Amino acid sequence: MEIKYKQYVVIPKSIKMSVGKAASQTAHATFMALEQQKEDKIIKKWKESGMCVIVLECSTPLQIMGIAKYLEQWNIPHHLYIDEGLTEVEMGTPTALATGVLDESHHWIFEKLNLYTDEDSSYFKKLLRK
């Protein structure tokens, strides 16, 4: 069964964040993207269909900013979260990008990106090995 309504989140893999930090950045970005979205009907349909959120990865902060620029050009609701630098990353680092709820006509935009995994970025495991 194809899910018709999805919210997408993209996290740059080159930024070494713990799983908790990545989850926090995802929460910030998704909330802000939904706050900006004006189509209440699509949000209602998304909620009724299970509130699907897909977390994807890109390579670098530059790539995530390029995705944000693309979404902006096509008036697709989104939010690029820029970290305040209080914990694991430097201030001003783009850590997560979330879309508003998108219907199936926009899903193709994200089909080339991989699902986010923690295999490369187990930040604390690497620290413990030292």
69-110 pLDDT, tens per residue? 999 999 999 999 999 989 899 999 999 999 999 999 999 999
Which CATH number goes with the domain that contains 37? Answer: 3.40.1490.10
Give the start-end residues of each E strand in 1-123.
Answer: 5-12, 53-58, 78-82, 94-103, 114-115
User: pTM, whole model, 2 decimals?
Assistant: 0.87
Residue 121: pLDDT band with limits 50, 70, 90:
very low
Domain count, the chain: 1
Residue 39 is part of which domain span?
Answer: 5-129
Distance CA 90, CA 39 (A): 34
Beta bridge partners of 97: 10, 80
11-51 pLDDT, tens per residue? 999 998 998 999 999 999 999 999 999 878 999 999 999 99
Nearest Cα residue to 55 out of 107, 115, 104, 109: 115
